[in-house]
A and B are shown apart, each in its own frame.
Chain A
Amino acid sequence: GAGVSQSPRYKVTKRGQDVALRCDPISGHVSLYWYRQALGQGPEFLTYFNYEAQQDKSGLPNDRFSAERPEGSISTLTIQRTEQRDSAMYRCASSLGGHSSYEQYFGPGTRLTVT
């Protein structure tokens, strides 16, 4: 079946612009996660949802970052007033929920470059 999809795959934006990154999870997956991966490092947790409820946003670096999942399926990660330090790979993952929440399936990522 279809895996996690993310769009766009690549995004180049100018400093100060807002960007919206989209994640479409595996059908039927209750939980959805956002991670950020800097070059040469492992992914770092940003936030996650169960259905439409944002359960943990402790990893969001500052208030320029926000995420939503209004209907419990597709999610959008928004970065306002982008800065060069926001350049990274943004990865989305989904899981069935419950005990299986720990088994997370990742999408291909969105490579964000802020110039």
Chain B
Amino acid sequence: AQSVTQPDIHITVSEGASLELRCNYSYGATPYLFWYVQSPGQGLQLLLKYFSGDTLVQGIKGFEAEFKRSQSSFNLRKPSVHWSDAAEYFCAVGGRNAGNMLTFGGGTRLMVKP
């Protein structure tokens, strides 16, 4: 069965600093990978996705993620964090072997210091 691990439950960064959120997955075939963001009182918003091709994918709000098959990772990055990026971030995996379901990690809560 597939699984996703987000090792960092909480991360605090200063505004303007760079950010990397870690995601490791377990999946028996070619994975489809996603990052979602959840702001307080809001639904889950899709930031970016990887299906195939270029392993560095660009998303909305200046985020990017890199798929590294050898490390089973799909880390999320942003060069300069804004206060409005404070939220909870979820990594998810899906694919043909999993039907249409997505499996989510436990999330990383990002706090931004002024």
* Chain A residues engaging chain B, CB cutoff 8 angstroms: 3-4, 31, 33, 40-45, 48, 55-56, 59, 91, 93, 95, 99, 101-109
- Point out which of B43, B104, B105, B107 has the most chain A C-beta atoms below 10 A from its C-beta: B43
Given A45-B101, A102-B95, A108-B41, 5 new contacts (CB under 8 A): A3-B43, A45-B103, A56-B100, A91-B43, A108-B42
Q: Which residue on chain A has the smallest CB distance to residue B36?
A: A106
In the assembled complex, the CB of A68 is this many whole angstroms from the nearest CB of chain B, namely 18
Stretch at the interface among B11-19, B44-52, B74-82: B44-52
Pairwise interchain contact A42-B100, C-beta atoms closer than 8 A: no
Q: How far, in whole Å, are A42 and B100 apart by their CA atoms in the complex?
A: 17
Q: How far, in whole Å, are A4 and B44 apart by their CA atoms in the complex?
A: 11
**Residue numbers in B under 8 Å from A95 (CB-CB):** 100
Task: Pick from A42, A93, A105: contact of B106, CB below 8 A.
Answer: A42
* Chain B residues engaging chain A, CB cutoff 8 angstroms: 4, 32, 34, 36, 41-46, 49, 51, 90, 92, 94-95, 99-107
- Point out which of A102, A107, A108 has the most chain B C-beta atoms below 10 A from its C-beta: A102
Q: A41-B107, A43-B90 given as contacts; is B43 within 8 A of A56 (CB)?
A: no
Pairwise interchain contact A56-B106, C-beta atoms closer than 8 A: no
